[in-house]
Amino acid sequence: MAQRQTTSNASGSEQVALVTVGSTQFVSLIKAIDDEAVCQALARRGITRLLVQKGASAYEMRVRNAYSVTVEVFSYRPKLHEIIKDAALVISHAGAGTILETLECKRPLIIVPNRALMSDHQLELAEALDAARYLFCVQVGSIRQKLQSLDFSTLRVFPGTKLAALREAILPLLAAADFPADDAEE
């Protein structure tokens, strides 16, 4: 069975945490991360570098270096997958693509739903994967506290997107969901 990457840094090598908001604005998440206490919580987990993909936001972060964590902010970067696959921790919006990509890379994942933009299906997916212990789904206002208290060793390794394994993981989640009928929109 594949092992999940942890956020500890016993080797002394650089440990990266990635915050990604995708292509939209999620200023409340960027502001929540822009906090020395967040850097302190990340440093306690062995993180030495925080990469913040802020998307279309014009917000300028104040915190650039704190508690031995170097902070780098960018709007977009090609090959974000390369960062995700090497990250010790990913903190993300609830986009299904980012969720699945991070879980496929077996990286610890904190999902912070952007309730202003997202569909209920994104929230349902994030909450279902949280309930199944593949990731943590937290509210933006609690990110600092959650970074201090979450136990990533309790997360399960996602089985991958091979069709049979995906079906086995997703079908029970879909069966429990309460989706409206297709004709409800008419």
57: domain CATH number is 3.40.50.2000
* Total count of domains within the chain: 1
Report if residue 93 sits inside a domain: yes
Which H or E element spans position 110?
strand 109-111
Q: Which backbone phi and psi does 71 adopt, to 5 degrees?
A: -110, 130
Domain that holds residue 123: 16-177
Q: What is the pLDDT of residues 43-100, one digit of tens each?
A: 999 999 999 999 989 999 999 899 999 999 999 998 899 999 999 999 999 988 899 9
pLDDT reported for residue 44: 96
Please give the structure tokens belonging to residue 154: 């309790």
* 100 vs 111: CA distance, rounded Å: 11
Q: What is the pLDDT of residues 121-179, one digit of tens each?
A: 788 889 999 999 999 999 999 999 999 999 999 999 998 766 556 667 766 776 666 65
Report if residue 186 sits inside a domain: no
Report if residue 183 sits inside a domain: no
Report if residue 8 sits inside a domain: no
Q: What is the pLDDT of residues 104-124, one digit of tens each?
A: 999 999 999 988 775 667 888
The band of 186, judged by pLDDT with boundaries at 50, 70 and 90, is very low
Report if residue 131 sits inside a domain: yes
DSSP lists the bridge partners of residue 74 as 53
Contact residues for 101 (Cβ-Cβ < 8 A; gap 6+): 81, 84
